[in-house]
Structure 1
Amino acid sequence: MVFKEQHVDAYMVTWKLEREFGGMTTVCTQRAAAFAERHGSAAVITFAPNAQIPQIAEELVERGKLSPKVKVLNPYLYLAEHDLQPQERIPGRKAEPAHQDFTLSDSVRHPGGTGVFCEHSVAGPEGEVRQTAYFRNDGTVFLTDTKFHDGKHRRILEAFDRTGMLVARFNSAASFYRYWLSQIVDHPDSLVVIDSKFTAAMLASWKTVHVPKVFAFHSIHVAKGQDLATGKLSKGHGPIIEERANWDAFVFLTRAQRQAYVERFGNPDSAFVIPNPLKPSFLQPPEPERGATDLIVAGSLTPNKNVAAALDAVHELSRRGKHPTLHIVGEGSERDALEVRAAELGLGEQVVFHGFSDQLPRRFASCLAQLFTSTNEGQALVILEAQAQGCIPVSFDINFGPADSITDGSNGFLVPHGDIQLMADRVEQLMDDPALAARMSQQARTFAREYQSRDLVSLWEETVSIAKLFKKKAATSDVPHFDARLSGVEFPAGQGLQVKVEHHADLDALSADAVFELVFVNRGSKEELASVPSTGVEGELAFFDVDPQLLGEIPEQDTAVDVNLRLRVGKDAEDKRLGLPESMILPYFTTQKNLSFRPEQ
């Protein structure tokens, strides 16, 4: 284990830290706590400007939500005490605001009135130019952030030293964040994990010298209801996967999700599996009595959690003469609709909305079973949290989490997605058979205890060590950056195809032995079936003539064949999945060989 005997500076990167947060931030803080326990300290890095971060962190420590060994770093609070490294060359402004006669509109002070955090000013007859100035603790300005519109949305961030001299300029907030982040974390002993999709989108073009860029997937990477192999990517993950060449490693929570990603996009060497940490929870005595008919749903009340299905299951149990009580723990946009739905089903006092709770382990310990009805997940850590308290999960079998934690009939039940009747059957089975319930409850506890004993810190350290090796290898590769976008298809005489692909590679950087190839891969077996070298390269286009005889020789015609663009330079080669350019309409051919279009979903 490469990092076993050396100190590691571990940084978990997200967008913001609030007093109340969901599963992704919980994992971020718990992972930081695990590293802090191993190495003495760790940090959660946020970017959202917020003067209350120190107070929020203090409250979270008091509530047991944040380890006292974990620091919370933020550029706006950090630069109030430390200097920003000057840029070697300060770039010019891309545009100038039409008005610069700024008038103070309001200010934000640090909690307790210990000084000014920032001041907001406006300029122009309608206040169309806005500027925020951020202050050091000594009262000097370290950053101004100016926003205006001149046909394009513009942003200029300028950093100053304590004498007021300009030391850095950025034409976007993202470039400011990347510059500051490099100053903080880019050294040989660092381990950096980006948890937030929003933050990851800003860090795609972040160039690091020492530290690998690692993104952790917390949820499914395709849009709701989409096929894993061909479906549209989720709104948050799509841009990250499209920029996968700019990342050193992707970490998935389950083997199934990694497999789905690799089968579609390749890159197995940079795809890893590390499950989420599970924080041990100890109940203060007395331990609550477990209700024989008490059920629980825990999590954010959002459409993806599909809590309405749990209400339907409770309604079905009531129809059968059972009288369960469903405890709903959490808040979210769906709460009002769920309360209306519960009333429509006539469930009345059988459904209790608890809102947010710091006593979730005690809630689990008091309930017979957990109903897990999400439409998709990354891992579903809340299932493990329920199992740790002997609460038996009854879950829809969805991508990707439940099956990794539940052995059907042993430490929980798995039912087909959307099968309300079978979910009710399984809960009824537990209610009617106390011996079965007791046995499964104990097996759930045992599984969670074994899960908690896993050394996930070492697994992260080993993963990042491997990513560093690949990062060094990529730095010495002769293959430059290139894209793989279908530009057009023509049908010349002879019934073949001519395929045009946009590659965007720097032709001047390519050696004479560089070759583009189209590579045909069996989606099921991953066997390379054939490759076609380009017949010519003009500018950013590569041309390929595909002989119908070649396609006719590809076996297993009922199996999908995927197409990659390969750039081979000497002994080095890299493949990228051939994709379509961004478009609101997508062409396709019917089985009668007629051309049709459909809007992008």
Structure 2
Amino acid sequence: MDSTQQHLNAYMVTWKLEREFGGMTTVCIQRAAAFAERYGSAAVVTFPPSPQLDQIAAELVQRGKLSPKVHVLNPYAFLAEHELDPQASIPEPASEPEHQDFTGTEQVYLPGDNGTLFCEHSTAGPDEQITRMTYYRGDGTVFLTDTSFEDTKPRRIVEAFDRSGILVARFPSAAAFYRHWLTQIVDHPDSLVVVDSKFTAKLLASWTPIHVPKIFAFHSVHVAKGQDLASGHLSKGHGPIIAERSTWDGFVFLTRAQRKAYVDRFGETDSTFVIPNPLNAPAVQPPVPQRSPLNLIAAGSLTPNKNVAAALEVIAELVRRGKQPTLHIVGEGNQSEALVQKVDELELGAHVVFHGYSDQLPRHFASCTAQLFTSTNEGQALVILEAQAQGCIPVSFDINFGPSDSIIDGHNGFLVPHGDIQAMADRVQSLMDDPILAAELSENARTFASEYQSRDLVSRWEETLSLTKMLKNLGAKNRVPHFEAKLRGVDFLDGQRLHVRVEHQAQLEDLPEPAIFELVFINRRSTEEIASVAASSVDEQLAAFDLEPSLLGETQEQDAAVDMNLRLRIGKAMQLKRLGLPESKILPYFTKHKNLSFNRRG
């Protein structure tokens, strides 16, 4: 793509933007800034309602955390000033609340002295069990109502209105509303959309833009902690995304090793790419702090995955060897209290300083000789590059996937076996005792980070966009049509076999390739696919499946629920739907004694 010939609208999609945030959001807004520098503007897309969003964005710009060329887009802020594209046909609600006597209980105003109403919370019903959020434009007109109630199950009705009060759209969930709005904003031929948030990606699994490829960026390893890359349980956040991988046009990984681990397990080489994160490493303003050989640093969120407790053990080992190090811990997280307690247990009070969150991380790195990186797993570990940019030498556990991409052992840092406290203490002690070695590695680290920072990552994203567009266009003819997944009957056959009939209602006669229906069994706990069975017969309405008693075999975990899904494959395209029951007021179920019973709904 020639950036001088065509403007590109770049949208980085996360969940929310707050005053303080972690590495994933940092990468999201830094990538947006890189595109804004290239094209003059870019956007970060968020979703939940926040009356303080504009104020937060302004503060982040003032603090240098957000480029003034990057816009922050949000459906609630957008609809306060613009109209929502109307639905072609407004659906009737599946159910309506029994009570409509809503009474306002709380009003929320935008920050400032103008008294602009942002939203109002109201309730209805004798027990105030029905709730409604009403959102207002600056002129006082309503642009959205969000009603929650319960009949046979939790319900939600989200309705959008134009300035004259006419209903223009109705949705059964906030996620459906978000998808409709996102299509209006980004689904154009000259757009790039990158989804960074795992939570948001799950909401967008059924989002089907026409023009723009749907791309997800993996920021961390796709398997759960301690699991084997080839066969282990998928992580809680990534499992649902990978299960719905056919709905995505591209997956982007931070390192070649991370992509290889995914491709070795799931295939799909054409739609997987490697693009490292951008690095924003500003120069430290004078006066530059004096670097001390005894100053060490552990920086990042204080969470179990970052494993800062191991860094404390390294400090304790150095103290036992007669050294007098000081570990500067920069960051916040749910392990803060536990780490303070561990400092007391190890009697390290004179050797550890907790700084909490800091806007001055580059200055901290510039004052420290070595960074102790003790995470259990990572995607890229951008904080290593940030340390190297200031001449701070990383000493890291050699884990999947990030450290080995940034550290050349013995040249610009050290890699030690995962969990080896003694080896990490040895490397840190060598830097303390040998100032010539420390100066050499420090300069090499600074050079490596400088060369990395000069990479043109925007061009790599442009190339990925071109390839995913091509793949999207080639796969358009194989797009999965709408289908249902309703259980119509189960026959118990000889030998404990089952014959299952599922209603699909898919229009299959005009498809260019055969449609393949499969029953898919997914472990609810791990979200992993346990087994699948192809249909034994398919007609215009039903797909039938023959299930053998050995189907789940030894793959089923003890006491783990297994969910049944219907999958439809058209060529390389596929879509998965949870198997449900047709609408009925009488629902059968089996007791633990294998007896048939019924519940009556409604």
Scaled by the length of structure 1, the TM-score of the pair is 0.84
Aligned to 1:414: 415
Distance 1:2 1:248, change over 3 A: farther
Distance 1:242 1:218, change over 3 A: same
Distance 1:128 1:481, change over 3 A: closer
In structure 2, stretches of 5+ residues that fail to align are: 485-493, 519-532, 549-565, 581-602
Distance 1:413 1:173, change over 3 A: same
Aligned to 1:451: 452
Aligned to 2:266: 265
What does residue range 226-245 of structure 1 map to in structure 2 within 5 Å? Answer: 226-245=227-246
Q: Distance in 2 between matches of 1:104 and 1:260?
A: 53
Distance 1:295 1:473, change over 3 A: same
Aligned to 2:134: 133
The AA in structure 1 aligned to 2:106 is: D
Aligned to 1:522: none
Deviation at 1:433, TM superposition (A): 1.0
The AA in structure 2 aligned to 1:280 is: A
Aligned to 2:587: none
* CA deviation string 1:140-186 (max 9, x = no partner): 00000001111311110011111111111001000000001111111
Q: Distance in 1 between matches of 2:274 and 2:315?
A: 35
The AA in structure 2 aligned to 1:374 is: S
Q: Distance in 2 between matches of 1:414 and 1:63?
A: 34
* CA deviation string 1:330-388 (max 9, x = no partner): 00100001000011001012000000000000000000000001111111100000000
> Is 2:78 aligned against 1:78?
yes
Q: Distance in 2 between matches of 1:535 and 1:232?
A: 27
Q: Which of 572, 575, 580 lines up with 1:574 in the alignment?
A: 572
> Is 2:286 aligned against 1:288?
no
Aligned to 1:374: 375
Deviation at 1:227, TM superposition (A): 0.9
The AA in structure 2 aligned to 1:312 is: E
CA contact (8 A) 1:516 1:542 kept: no
Aligned to 2:100: 100
Aligned to 1:524: none
Q: Distance in 2 between matches of 1:62 and 1:568?
A: 50
Distance 1:261 1:330, change over 3 A: same
* CA deviation string 1:271-292 (max 9, x = no partner): 1110000013111112111011
What does residue range 198-597 of structure 1 map to in structure 2 within 5 Å? Answer: 198-477=199-478, 506=506, 508-509=508-509, 514=514, 536-538=536-538, 539-540=542-543, 573-574=571-572
CA contact (8 A) 1:505 1:540 kept: no
The AA in structure 1 aligned to 2:572 is: E
Distance 1:117 1:363, change over 3 A: same
Distance 1:202 1:326, change over 3 A: same
CA contact (8 A) 1:480 1:505 kept: no
Distance 1:425 1:10, change over 3 A: same
Distance 1:535 1:372, change over 3 A: closer
* CA deviation string 1:183-218 (max 9, x = no partner): 111111111111111111101101101100011111
CA contact (8 A) 1:566 1:574 kept: no
CA contact (8 A) 2:569 2:575 kept: no
Q: Distance in 2 between matches of 1:356 and 1:279?
A: 18
The AA in structure 1 aligned to 2:23 is: G
Q: Distance in 2 between matches of 1:268 and 1:482?
A: 28
Q: CA RMSD in A?
A: 3.2
Q: Distance in 2 between matches of 1:165 and 1:36?
A: 37
In structure 1, stretches of 5+ residues that fail to align are: 484-491, 519-532, 546-564, 583-601
Distance 1:255 1:4, change over 3 A: farther
Scaled by the length of structure 2, the TM-score of the pair is 0.84
Deviation at 1:508, TM superposition (A): 3.2
Distance 1:170 1:435, change over 3 A: same
Deviation at 1:107, TM superposition (A): 0.6
Q: Distance in 2 between matches of 1:566 and 1:183?
A: 29
Distance 1:200 1:395, change over 3 A: same
* CA deviation string 1:489-517 (max 9, x = no partner): xxx99xxxx99999979583476973869
CA contact (8 A) 1:307 1:373 kept: yes
* CA deviation string 1:21-55 (max 9, x = no partner): 00000000000000000000001110010011111
Aligned to 1:37: 37
Distance 1:512 1:452, change over 3 A: closer
Deviation at 1:127, TM superposition (A): 1.1
What does residue range 138-177 of structure 1 map to in structure 2 within 5 Å? Answer: 138-177=139-178
Distance 1:544 1:174, change over 3 A: closer
Deviation at 1:537, TM superposition (A): 3.3
Distance 1:162 1:455, change over 3 A: same
Q: Distance in 2 between matches of 1:246 and 1:575?
A: 8
Distance 1:499 1:346, change over 3 A: farther
Q: Percent identity?
A: 66
* CA deviation string 1:531-578 (max 9, x = no partner): xx9894355456799xxxxxxxxxxxxxxxxxxx99997xxx439899
Distance 1:102 1:499, change over 3 A: closer
